[in-house]
Amino acid sequence: MASVAYRYRRWRLDEQIALVARCEVHSLMAVKGQQTLMTLNALNEFDPKLTGVDWRNKLETQRGAVLATELKNNNNKVAKWTAQALLASADVMKIGFVSRAHLRDHFNHTILSVQGYKPKEFASQINLNPNNMWGIVKAIVDICMKLDEGKYVLVKDPTKPQVRLYEVPADSFENDYLEEPIPEDEQMPPPPPEEETTDEPSNEQKEVDADADAV
């Protein structure tokens, strides 16, 4: 069973092209008798000695400053979360602020705070324009529609605001992944053993063999 819920949504880019996407929703909550769809994400605190911002001391009094610092350092990640919430038509996106229980312990964490935002308002707050998002998608789709049929990879340059489209062989990436093992309770039981049969032919088979010898 998947750890999230999926919504399949369809958008029409123009008269000839429609786009279908599988969008994630992480939670369903009843608010005032109405169902509210939510997305849930978490920001992890980096070493406060290096950043100069201790979340345990600043979150209660300077939450906006903490969020502004995260937007500066992780702008792409937060923008991706916001775009995912908009595409899924989620009513609320919640962001958790998570810190290590101890600085050297990377297993145990503490949720310091959780803040909820309306996706459209938060997108405006971080200067994420949905019209620009769809404009970029449409531009990429137009380029792809002019290409020959095949398999392509879209790669973003890590240091420049630039994406590149590469053509790859048709069998690329087919065997380059590891399949997750199926849990034992979900595995199909082995088929029952077949009944043992004797080597001695039946009477009907003997008659057929006798007729064959006579011929």
Digit-coded pLDDT (tens) for 141-175: 999 999 999 999 999 888 888 899 999 998 887 76
The domain tally of the chain equals 1
In a domain, 110, yes or no: yes
Q: Do the domain assignments include residue 209?
A: no
Q: Which helix (H) or strand (E) holds 5?
A: strand 5-12
Does residue 78 lie within any of the structural domains?
yes
Predicted structure pTM score: 0.73
Q: What is the pLDDT of residues 113-135, one digit of tens each?
A: 999 999 999 999 999 999 999 99
**Would you say residue 212 lies in a domain?**
no
Q: Is residue 62 part of a domain?
A: yes
Token pair for 27: 């939670």
Cα distances from 161 to residues 158, 164, 172, in angstroms, run 8, 10, 26
DSSP 104: T
Note whether residue 43 is domain-resident.
Answer: yes
Q: What is the mean pLDDT of the chain?
A: 84
CA-based radius of gyration for the chain? 29
The pLDDT, as a whole number, for residue 92 is 95
- Strands of 26-67 (E only): list them: 27-31, 34-44
Identify the weakest region by mean pLDDT among 12-16, 35-39, 54-58.
54-58
Could you tell me which residues are beta bridge partners of residue 109?
Answer: 100
Give me the pLDDT at residue 22, please: 95
Sheet with 34-44, strands from edge to edge, namely: 27-31, 34-44, 92-100, 109-117
Provide the domain limits for residue 120. 5-129
189 domain residue, yes or no: no
- Look up residue 191 and give its two tokens: 């088929």
Return the bridge partners of 6, or none: 24
Q: Is residue 205 part of a domain?
A: no
